[in-house]
Chains A and B, each alone.
Chain A
Amino acid sequence: METRASYVLVGGFVLSFLAGLIAFAIWIAKVDLDAEYKDYDIYFDGTVSGLYKRSIVYYLGIPVGDVRDITLAPQDPSKVRVWIRLRAEVPVSEASRARLEFQGLTGVAYIELSGGSPNSPPLESHLGAERPIIEAEPSPLLEIFDSAPNLVNEAIKMLGQIQKILSNDNVANISKTLSNTERLTGNLADGTDNLEVMVADVQIILAEAKNAAVKISTLVDNGNTLIEEDAKQLIAEATGTMQAATAMLNRVDGLVAANEGTVTQFIGGSLPEVSRMILDLRLTARSLSRLVSRIEQNPSEALFGAKEAPYNLKTRKTEEEGN
Chain B
Amino acid sequence: MVGQTVKIPVSKLITSFLFCALVLLAGCGPLISFGDDGPADDVYNLSYEGGYSANVDSENIIYLEEPLMNQGLSGVDIAVALPDDQRSTLKGVRWAGNSADLVRDYLVRSLSEKSGVKLLGDGGLDVRAGCRMTVKVWSFEFAPGERSRDDTVDVAIEFSLVRYRDGHLVGQRAFNVSTAIDTNQGNSVVAGFRAGMHALSGDAANWLGPLGSNCAL
Contacts and interface: CB of A to CB of B under 8 A. Distances in A.
B160 interface: no
B31 A303 contact: yes
A277 interface: yes
Interface string A218-250: 000000000000000000000000000000000
B25 to A, nearest CB: 17
B132 interface: yes
B63 A311 contact: no
A316 B147 CA distance: 9
Interface residues of A, number: 23
Nearest to A284: B66
- Majority DSSP secondary structure for residues of A touching B: helix
Interface stretch (A97-105, A107-115, A119-127, A267-275): A267-275
A279 interface: yes
Chain B contact residues (Cβ within 8 angstroms of A): what range?
A: 20 to 34
Contact of A283 (B66, B144, B189): B66
Contacts of B164: 272, 275
Contact of B89 (A276, A279, A311): A311
A280 B148 contact: no
A277 to B, nearest CB: 7
A318 B189 contact: no
Interface string A294-323: 000000100110001111110010110000
Nearest to A279: B65
A311 B88 contact: yes
A300 B164 CA distance: 42
B191 to A, nearest CB: 13
Contacts of B91: 310-313, 319
A310 B38 CA distance: 14
B125 A309 contact: no
Interface string B125-151: 111110010000000001010001000
Contacts of B128: 268-269, 272
B80 A311 contact: yes
Q: Considering residues B68, B88, B132, B148, which has the most beta carbons from chain A within 10 angstroms of its beta carbon?
A: B88
B189 A280 contact: no
A310 B127 CA distance: 42
A140 to B, nearest CB: 82
B30 interface: yes
A125 B65 CA distance: 116
A314 to B, nearest CB: 9
Contact of A276 (B30, B68, B87, B125): B125
Contacts of A272: 63, 126-129, 164
A313 B82 CA distance: 12
B82 A276 contact: no
Given A275-B164, A313-B183, A316-B144, A308 B89 contact: yes
A308 B148 contact: no
A304 B33 CA distance: 9
Contacts of B132: 276, 279
Contact of A313 (B31, B87, B90, B129): B90
B182 to A, nearest CB: 12
Contacts of B30: 300
A276 B63 CA distance: 9
Interface string B173-200: 0000000000100000100000000000
Contact of A273 (B66, B90, B126, B144): B126
Contact of B125 (A273, A308, A312): A273
A188 B198 CA distance: 88
Interface string A80-91: 000000000000
Given A268-B128, A303-B31, A318-B82, A311 B65 contact: no
Interface of A: 268-270, 272-273, 275-277, 279-280, 283, 300, 303-304, 308-313, 316, 318-319
Interface of B: 30-31, 33, 63, 65-66, 68, 80, 82, 87-93, 125-129, 132, 142, 144, 148, 164, 183, 189
16 contacts: A268-B128, A269-B126, A272-B127, A272-B164, A277-B125, A279-B65, A280-B125, A283-B68, A308-B89, A309-B88, A310-B88, A310-B90, A313-B92, A316-B144, A318-B88, A319-B91
Given A311-B91, A318-B88, 11 more contacts: A269-B128, A270-B126, A272-B129, A279-B65, A280-B66, A310-B92, A311-B82, A311-B144, A312-B92, A313-B90, A313-B144
